[in-house]
Structure 1
Amino acid sequence: MKKQVYILFFILLYSGFNLAQQNAINIKATLNVDEDKLMIQQEIVYTNTSKQELNHIFLHNWGNAFKDRKTPLSKRFIQDFRKDLYFANQKDLGFSDIKNITINFNNIVYKELENKEDILQLFLDKPLKPKESTRINVTYILKIPNSKFTGYGKYNNGYRLRYWYLTPAIYKNGWQLMSNLNLNDLFEDYTTFNIQFKLPNYLNLTSSLKQQKPNIDGVFTTYNLYGKNQKDVILDIQRKNTFKKFHTDSHEIQTDIIQEDFNENITKVILNRELSFLTSYLGVLPTDKIFIDEVMRKQNPIYGLTQLPSFIRPFSDVFKQDLTLFKVLSKKYLQQTLLINERKDYWLIDGLQNYLMIEYVNKFYPEIKLLGKASNSWFLKRFNISKLQFNEKYPFVYQFTARRFLDQALNTPADSLSNFNRRIVSKYKAGLGFTYLKGFLSEAILNKSIKEFYQKNKLKVTNDSDFKNILTKNTSKDISWFFKDFIKTNKKIDYTIDKVKETNDSLKVTIKNKRNITAPIALYGIKNKEIKYKEWFTNVSDTLTTTLPKGKFDQIALNYENIYPEYNTLDNYYNVKRKLFNKPLKFSLIKDVKAPNYNQIFYQPSFEYNFYDGLILGVKLHNKPIIKRNLEFKISPGYATRSKMINGSFSVAFNQFFEETNIYKIAYGIAGNTLQYAPELSYSSLIPYVDIQFKRKSLRDASTENLRAKIVHINKEISPLETKTDQDNYNVFSLSYNYINPDIIDETRYSFTGEVAKNFSKISADYRFRKLTTSDTQLDFRVFAGVFLHNKSEGDYFSFGLDRANDYLFELNYYGRSESSGIFSQQYIITEGGFKSVLPTRFANQYMLSLNSSIGLWRWVEFYNDVAFLKNKNQYLFFGYENGIRLNFIHNIFEIYLPLYSNNGWEVSQEAYPQKIRFTFTGDLGSIYNFFRRGFL
């Protein structure tokens, strides 16, 4: 009788799968700690929920993404300037070793997709009709990778497992296939899980599923996990259990992100408040257990909260713990209960989550500033950034990126976003989009629509079209602009108060649309910093004139509350009270955010050094706030402590950005400089220029391409005993094309330059290629070729230099440019001939061909070898050669060259060898910053 009951139970259970049309996954897994492997027997009951017959089924096999350097994941890491997986040791890699696959207990044909090793295609013997189910059985071994790649895998306290099992791809308007790109966005259908997991007794298992009491058998423990309407099953296997379980009024929360010394009762109060808040916006939540681990917290940081040094402690522990929990909890909950293809429609999840974050802070922490308690410090309180509220970071960060034209449309696939946009900007813009709708439609309509969308689509496959349909139904206002231009383009909203005409009793305000998007805008009347008037206007494609009563407002403003993200907010204000200047001048220390009511000039101390001037102490005056301006200027006077001279530099530039062409930006500018170039002798330069920067193929492409034209005027002081020559006062027209692809494995750079002056003209090409081999050995190659088209100059001042360029354009950062001996003469900047040894022939006044190469020996130790051909007038062709050791500590920033053998013979055996050693060193903070920020922007 008991046997019959069990049989009936499983029949009903299996029938339930068919009726609910929900897949089922049953897994038996055993952990082999010695080899970091899982022995897995997996059964998938797959139901065809589409209206099409299926001839094959695809399985996502994301555990196989760590198998080698050819997988999409490894290639993605290379794009992000990460080579840890590319050069990983075999023991740190992970893979899925498929032993057998059957369908309905019959062997079938299957294969990995080409160039997508983490997707399996299973060929069916007969078509699977709509609403029919089939049973897939797979036996395989999963090698667990090191957690350093994605946060999941083997780590010092055990194993964190995510995307560790095979899961069927979703068929919705075709197969929705995606490779593991470390985006944590697997489009996985809701499934009924039954998992039996066996592991050694000294390990504890915590999971996102429910679990029965574990069974202990000798040295092993078996955990039985189960759950319905589940996806993305995460396991944490630990030697020391760090998870805490909190039973709130409605949910069980299991997490390891709570600070050890944080009060558990306060945590429970916070969690109850957060869940109550989510329920008020989303309605009844359909699951009773939420699992949050440390990796999720790290992958969802609160920028502006966790980046400040801990010793400053600008935020209270309660605020930090509350927002940290809410950020991860809300994201996890939305991902767990809404089945959305986040690679295509990521903006909907991110927008909802960031909107909830904004609303949560507005409700419970409206007084918190962006810099927290640090805003009141004696130093920071004078800056405008200290006056920003915590939620004002969203429009600020968006504008920071939009002003550089580096933002991307919200419907851009997640794997095509730049890292900066994927991690921060697009999330913020999506959240601001919901705030925009709240302001335009009303809070009641938006929140009603969000709740209705969530309740109708929870635990179902959905997308942004479903949200659009509900929102459209709930309002009579036109919202087509939102789902067209705001979501599907990166068009920038930019309106201005063009003019205000005052009459006896009214103000006629003309609003102008400065860009190519027509969107709703809000006009305000302000009195004593309080909003006395607010009106929304739509369909302003060009200009609109409206009338306001006179005498009731101090100021008229657009977008006063920063409700919608705008390209430029500096021209949104008009002061009704007459002043000599509509915006008075304000001096601010160091860079700051813009002050809409002022014209800002920033000042900051500057420090430079060269051998002749010594330490140059100065001040830099500029108009460059943190967010870019089109017109920029800089004046930097300084006092040289050694030469006792006043010197410095200036620059003025106008940046013109383009949206519809292959040109990204044209900069028109003029720059000047004066410094010492020799003891008690200075030079001055004046350089008008035009710089054309071309767009990248995509924002994930790190290459840069530009064309630069300039006229360099140089005027040098000379000794009273000398006569001024053409080498002391001259003009050079220079035209150059430069291309850089800083790929971490195959870096390519090349440039072509032409110069025309009174007494010479010449052209040159510089090609550089750097490669890391499969054994992580660096190969560096460079070819330089230069030829004079005509040359009537005397001496070698304008000649090509073999070991050190004369730098007559004063472009290179030489600390002692006129030194022929001493430490500063040994400074090396790779240019022109690129030799390190000083050979008998150092210059070429006809042509030069040089080849430089180096190969890695061990870590940063390399062997370099150079050859060159130099031709001078009335002289035989000179062939130069050299080799030596290169200590490449930081590429192009800090390097040391030790010559071994050259035309001079064995360099190491010759007198004064230390003086032959060359070094590369730059103190340019911009170059250092660009080197270390690679892969983030």
Structure 2
Amino acid sequence: MAMLCSSFAFAQQNTMHIKASLNSEKKQLLIEQEIVYFNNTNDTLSQILLHNWPNSFKNRKTPLSKRFIKDFRKDLYFAKKEDLGFTSIKNISIAYQNVKHQAYEDKADILEVFLLQPLKPQESTKIDLSYLVQMPSAKFTSYGAHENGYRLRYWYITPVIYNDGWQFMSNLNLDDLFEDYATFDIELKTPKVFSLSSNLKQTKQSNETHNWYQLFGKNKKDITLNIERENTFKQFNTAPHQIQTNIVDEELDSTVIKTILNRELDFLKQYLGPLSADKILIDKAMQKKNPVYGLSQIPDFFSPFPHLFKYDLQLFKVLSKKYLQQTLFVNQRNDYWLLDGLHSYLMIEYVHKYYPKIKLIGKAADTWFLKKYNISKLQFNQKYPFVYQFTARKFLDQPLNTPADALSNFNRKIVSKYKAGLGFSYLKGYLGASVLNKSIKEFYQKNRLFITKSADFKNVLAKHTTKDVQWFFNDFIKTNKKIDYTIKKVEETQDSLKVTLKNKRNITTPIAFYGIQNDTIKFKKWYANIKDTLTISVPKGRFDQLVLNYENIYPEYNTLDNYYRTDKKFFNKPLKLTLIKDVKAPKYNQLFYQPTIAYNYYDGLILGVKLHNKPLIKRNLEFKTSPGYATKSNKLNGSFTVVYNQYFEKTSLYKISYGIVGTTLQYKPDLSYSALIPYVNVQFKRKSLRDATAEFITAKTVLIQKEILPTAIKTEQDSYRVFSLSYNYINPDIISETRFNIKTEFAKNFSKISTDFRFRKLTTSDTQIDFRVFAGAFLHNQSKGDYFSFGLDRANDYLFELNYYGRSEDSGLFSQQYIINEGGFKSVLPTRFANQYMLSLNSSIGLWRWIEYYNDVAFLKNKAKPLFFGYENGIRFNFVHNIFEIYLPLYSNNGWEVTQEAYSKNIRFTFTGELNRVYNFFRRGFL
């Protein structure tokens, strides 16, 4: 009966006949295509949807271009016309009659074809298409035209799958087209200078000018073509597969590579059963888009990993993924975790079987400097729980049933794949390897080449075990609830230890409990359904440690409280001091120290040491102290910080940080200041993790004590307290960036309110327009002088928030440092401060690349003085926005500044050495 069903399904398979001709000069494919479409549903269809992904490179309005913008990529948005790609439909007909067609719901890469008459269940229709594909540059998605030819994927029009409705999806550079299996018959004509590699069986005929390729395959999808001037592909005939790849290593001969491929295929056969694909094509584009993180990013000359291991693992990752994609028919947009989880599990098992001794940091683990660190003890496979915990501790992970296009880039590329793979390892540990592996093999053999989903895997798994697996397919898959158990207490009796295990969070899953003696597992048992606490007994005197999740089998939110030492009475965990950050050492209470270097004009180089409790994975309670010696002032100074981060899972709040910061530095030659700042920061959740906006409220009290000269009289400017309450909104969109701040300050002698609005826009011609409005007014002001006034060209920074290198300088290089704040002027005008109110407008417009023209105007009002109107303009060199900029004033209230004496003193610059700001700028779009 099964064979009859299978034969029937294949008999109803769509067929695709494509006749294509390559025009290399114009980078075009001329295509005549015939689609025989079978309605294998129970519904009558009046229209058919087609995936037209070649058209996704058409312009800046396509879903692909909009996706890139969200990823802080503007290459397609501002692409040259010759780099764009599109589909030009010449004709679509059915039964020799032209039919109406259109883009579906404003999606340029989905084509809707209206049938001449309804298509009933189990009937078929033949659709004839004539169209031109303009191939895009490969720089956008790695597929398209490149210097050696054409790397083509998703290059033809193909029917959308109808399964409880049309399962259409736009091209978002996720390489996840949900495409039905079909019988392909392709005729391809190319100039003779090109060779062809594909995942179909092929024959070739030639004359003096052209090649004619005949390509054929049954039960195929995702037809990939590599048309190259210089053939970079090699063919390896393994039993029973033919593999074409340009992922070759010059240091390895073909025999070695074939041996590696055979071993990899044998491994897949061991876990999946008989393999069905007869020909597989894998290329460097796939390797680049599916790297082995922690391995592929390290240059070969610097890599701490054995060369063969690195090549083998990179090749296996691409081969196994391509094989699963070709043979398992899963909607990877909506049910990605199943394929990703199985793929990551195979990666874990492959390393465990063939490279069990490879460390996470490779041979570097044996170096004299690193071998004492806990990270050097981690095996390569321990990167999976480590990366998951790194993200989970920040509450930036997402449920595994989140659609792939709604995942943040970090989750899509790494974290969700790792968690899904850990989920399979979790099942292996809890159910047993035989149960899981038998279930995987049966699921694969039963569902290959048929539409399948995670519910089918659940049914197979439940058949092979009597243990409950609902927790896995419910909370583990459908939520981002965090697993977190701890050893709450241990009580000694005469001959046993009563151990109380506690569930600290809102998810109930099985956990593994261990008894350890001399770092060897002597006892292991799984416990399930612990909703609150469970007390168990273990023999006394047989273990020196009691541990939960000792082997990191399942992803856990916090493993620091999983250890209990039975041989320690006073200190359960001894203190350990470690140079520079390390991964957590569960057996110890860790403190880290590291050398620091800083600079300001008055202290000179500040050489010190930072002592803190922050490992690589974030903790809720963090502290650091950074004492230092200033080489110029010959003084001891530094800072300290204590902060507690409270995260929220079910509210609109993301986290509340409660902290206190203390700092002592020089603010003038031989004069220091001390600042003590208790604060509360409330950060709101983003609409989604693909939304890069930030919204937060900060309340703080700033207490300042400043040293004064022995001959000076102490004033209100030398000792004061200011309470500040501010709201911030940041949308760092790469095309239209918006930043908004409103702040109030209250002190003994003054109170004020101000707002700062910034808008940066890239026009359709890639010209940058920068616009800023600042408005500030005193609610009351009894202070003397301008120390607390609004500054036009340079804020006094009495709260010591800005990183001025020479904050008290009024001449010399450091007086020219510019941090956009308050008035935002670059020129020094006759009126520099306002003690009543200020309104300032700053703008700039791009001229060429990073050269801009700026223009500013401002209104300043001081007590008993008329309103002052200020204006200026000049040239802005915006090399790295807000990180490295140079301003050349041209004209202002001072007249033509370029003609004035000592013009170089009027030049202003922006420069920051703050590594966090630089890192956050360049990581945009990934986290």
Q: Normalising by structure 1, what TM-score?
A: 0.98
Match of 1:342 among 323, 332, 336: 332
- How many aligned residue pairs are there? 921
Provide the secondary structure at the position in 1 that maps to 2:820: coil
CA contact (8 A) 2:59 2:77 kept: yes
Q: 1:205 corresponds to which residue?
A: 196
CA contact (8 A) 1:901 1:907 kept: yes
**Structure-2 separation of matches of 1:921 and 1:286:** 59
Give the Å deviation of 1:411: 0.2
The answer to whether structure 1 residue 855 and structure 2 residue 845 are counterparts is yes
Q: 2:155 corresponds to which residue?
A: 164
Code of the residue aligned with 2:901 in structure 1: it is E
Q: 1:529 corresponds to which residue?
A: 519
Code of the residue aligned with 2:593 in structure 1: it is Y
Give the Å deviation of 1:524: 0.6
**Structure-2 separation of matches of 1:919 and 1:528:** 60
**Structure-2 separation of matches of 1:138 and 1:218:** 30
The answer to whether structure 1 residue 919 and structure 2 residue 909 are counterparts is yes
Q: 1:823 corresponds to which residue?
A: 813
Q: 1:684 corresponds to which residue?
A: 674
Q: 2:16 corresponds to which residue?
A: 25
Provide the secondary structure at the position in 1 that maps to 2:103: strand
The answer to whether structure 1 residue 310 and structure 2 residue 300 are counterparts is yes
CA contact (8 A) 1:17 1:23 kept: no
- Residues 577-656 of structure 1 correspond to what in structure 2 (within 5 A)? 577-656=567-646
Give the Å deviation of 1:17: 9.4
Deviates more, 1:90-99 or 1:310-319: 310-319
CA contact (8 A) 1:341 1:463 kept: yes
Q: 1:78 corresponds to which residue?
A: 69
CA contact (8 A) 2:673 2:706 kept: yes
Q: 2:723 corresponds to which residue?
A: 733
1:199-241 CA distance string (max 9 Å, x none): 10011011111101x1113311110001000000000000110
Provide the secondary structure at the position in 1 that maps to 2:302: coil
**Structure-2 separation of matches of 1:308 and 1:591:** 20
Deviates more, 1:401-410 or 1:253-262: 253-262
Give the Å deviation of 1:551: 1.2
**Structure-1 separation of matches of 2:699 and 2:802:** 18
CA contact (8 A) 2:428 2:435 kept: yes
Provide the secondary structure at the position in 1 that maps to 2:655: strand
1:216-268 CA distance string (max 9 Å, x none): 13311110001000000000000110101111122111100111231211111
Provide the secondary structure at the position in 1 that maps to 2:301: coil
Q: 2:497 corresponds to which residue?
A: 507
The answer to whether structure 1 residue 296 and structure 2 residue 280 are counterparts is no
Provide the secondary structure at the position in 2 that maps to 1:840: coil
Q: CA RMSD in A?
A: 0.9
1:832-855 CA distance string (max 9 Å, x none): 000000000000000000000000
The answer to whether structure 1 residue 90 and structure 2 residue 81 are counterparts is yes
Deviates more, 1:799-808 or 1:471-480: 471-480
CA contact (8 A) 1:30 1:197 kept: yes
Match of 1:708 among 678, 693, 698: 698
**Structure-2 separation of matches of 1:592 and 1:515:** 26
Q: 1:296 to 1:19 in 2, by over 3 A?
A: closer
CA contact (8 A) 1:169 1:177 kept: yes
CA contact (8 A) 1:18 1:133 kept: no
**Structure-2 separation of matches of 1:616 and 1:512:** 47
Q: 1:449 corresponds to which residue?
A: 439
Deviates more, 1:674-683 or 1:252-261: 252-261
| Structure 2 gaps, min length 5 | 1-6
Q: 1:7 corresponds to which residue?
A: none
Provide the secondary structure at the position in 1 that maps to 2:214: strand
1:548-577 CA distance string (max 9 Å, x none): 111111110000111100000000011011
**Structure-2 separation of matches of 1:278 and 1:223:** 31
Q: 1:51 to 1:848 in 2, by over 3 A?
A: same
Provide the secondary structure at the position in 1 that maps to 2:814: helix
The answer to whether structure 1 residue 544 and structure 2 residue 534 are counterparts is yes
- Residues 26-425 of structure 1 correspond to what in structure 2 (within 5 A)? 26-212=17-203, 214-425=204-415
Provide the secondary structure at the position in 2 that maps to 1:117: strand
Code of the residue aligned with 1:93 in structure 2: it is L
CA contact (8 A) 1:18 1:47 kept: no
**Structure-2 separation of matches of 1:19 and 1:157:** 38
Q: 2:4 corresponds to which residue?
A: none
**Structure-1 separation of matches of 2:681 and 2:305:** 44
Give the Å deviation of 1:19: 6.4
1:102-161 CA distance string (max 9 Å, x none): 112211111002331000001112110111110000000000000000000011111000
1:303-350 CA distance string (max 9 Å, x none): 111223432331112111111111111101100000100001110000
**Structure-1 separation of matches of 2:170 and 2:861:** 55
Code of the residue aligned with 1:219 in structure 2: it is T
CA contact (8 A) 1:616 1:640 kept: yes
Code of the residue aligned with 1:926 in structure 2: it is N
Provide the secondary structure at the position in 2 that maps to 1:381: coil
Q: 2:890 corresponds to which residue?
A: 900
The answer to whether structure 1 residue 661 and structure 2 residue 658 are counterparts is no
Match of 1:841 among 817, 823, 831: 831
The answer to whether structure 1 residue 885 and structure 2 residue 883 are counterparts is no
CA contact (8 A) 1:685 1:714 kept: yes
Q: 1:9 corresponds to which residue?
A: none
**Structure-2 separation of matches of 1:786 and 1:797:** 15
Q: 1:592 to 1:613 in 2, by over 3 A?
A: same
Give the Å deviation of 1:69: 0.4
Give the Å deviation of 1:289: 1.1
Code of the residue aligned with 1:117 in structure 2: it is A
Code of the residue aligned with 2:748 in structure 1: it is K
Q: 1:11 corresponds to which residue?
A: none
CA contact (8 A) 2:296 2:314 kept: no
**Structure-2 separation of matches of 1:81 and 1:936:** 9
Provide the secondary structure at the position in 2 that maps to 1:432: helix
Q: 1:8 corresponds to which residue?
A: none
Provide the secondary structure at the position in 2 that maps to 1:269: helix
Give the Å deviation of 1:190: 0.2
Q: Normalising by structure 2, what TM-score?
A: 0.99
Q: 1:472 corresponds to which residue?
A: 462
Provide the secondary structure at the position in 1 that maps to 2:180: coil
**Structure-2 separation of matches of 1:479 and 1:219:** 62
Code of the residue aligned with 1:38 in structure 2: it is L
1:736-759 CA distance string (max 9 Å, x none): 000110000000000000000000
Deviates more, 1:380-389 or 1:407-416: 380-389
**Structure-1 separation of matches of 2:226 and 2:301:** 31
**Structure-1 separation of matches of 2:238 and 2:111:** 41
Give the Å deviation of 1:697: 0.4
Q: 2:548 corresponds to which residue?
A: 558
Q: 1:4 corresponds to which residue?
A: none
**Structure-2 separation of matches of 1:147 and 1:17:** 40
| Structure 1 gaps, min length 5 | 1-15
Give the Å deviation of 1:379: 1.5
Code of the residue aligned with 1:230 in structure 2: it is K
1:15-65 CA distance string (max 9 Å, x none): x99961100000011111111001000100000011100111000000000
Match of 2:488 among 498, 504, 508: 498
Q: 1:572 corresponds to which residue?
A: 562
CA contact (8 A) 1:17 1:24 kept: no
